[in-house]
Structure 1
């Protein structure tokens, strides 16, 4: 028998569990991860629901997952729903890591995807994404650490050249 799709309270609890499963060093600098009851649509494409967002604001850096948008996707399988929650959280955390490292890659990829939706007048039927597992998480963390090290080395080189 299929498990039912989580209600908002269960969604919030599952999101908290997902956040707690992420190593603390990957959450460094993040002010919070929040479940939002409402759906969120793209401003220029009413057919496109945003499952999550990463925001840098004056008061901190935040990740939001939109319960209403997950419901709007029409998933009937709780496992698929929960897998998408995990994938969305990891996607938004990747934004956090890349922004911290000064890398715009994922933001640019998301913009290209939305621009494609705009040109086509909406999204295509979504293909199954490869689940982001521990190997992916480690690879992203290594990329982040390498980017930070490169920035520190460049700064050291610059300071040395300036005689500081």
Structure 2
């Protein structure tokens, strides 16, 4: 299993691969959280949240990446796969950020459609 320190290094690598301008107005930055985060509409604990874009008047704009969720899902995966999934999640959350700045909600709508399909299967 990858330690949180090693995971943080992978996350830092992923952050460095993305152009700086994508982080504009992301005043809270990208924060690594230790916990497993379960989606509120999950059937039990099967639907984990890997990352989350947050915008609030008090906290500003920031991205959470959930180490515990990644370990629960990818704990036995190769480091290469884990790194790819970290980067994919970071890009997904940055897309939410950029769309929020532009007043768009395309990815938010796509995420809701995925949840709706998940619930239909359950």
| TM-score using structure 1 length | 0.68
Pick aligned residue for 1:38 from 10, 35, 47:
35
Pick aligned residue for 1:24 from 20, 23, 34:
20
CA distance in 1, matches of 2:99, 2:86: 20
| Residues 5-34 of structure 1, C-alpha deviations (whole Å, 9 max, x = no match) | 421011112212221222111110102101
SS in structure 2 of the partner of residue 109 of structure 1: helix
RMSD: 1.2
Q: CA deviation at 1:64?
A: 0.8
Instruction: From the CA coordinates, give the structure whose radius of gyration is larger.
Output: 1
Higher relative contact order (CA 8 A, sep 6+): 2
- Matched residue, 2:71: 71
CA distance in 2, matches of 1:81, 1:117: 23
SS in structure 2 of the partner of residue 108 of structure 1: helix
CA distance in 1, matches of 2:2, 2:19: 25
User: Size of the alignment, in residue pairs?
Assistant: 117
- Matched residue, 1:52: 51
Contact 1:11 1:35 in 2 (8 A): no
Aligned positions of 1:73-152 closer than 5 A: 73-74=73-74, 75-121=76-122
Question: Which blocks of at least 5 consecutive residues in structure 1 are unaligned?
Answer: 122-164
CA distance in 2, matches of 1:47, 1:27: 31
Q: CA deviation at 1:81?
A: 0.7
Question: Which blocks of at least 5 consecutive residues in structure 2 are unaligned?
Answer: none
| TM-score using structure 2 length | 0.89
> After TM superposition, what 4+ stretches of structure 1 lie above 3 angstroms from structure 2?
none
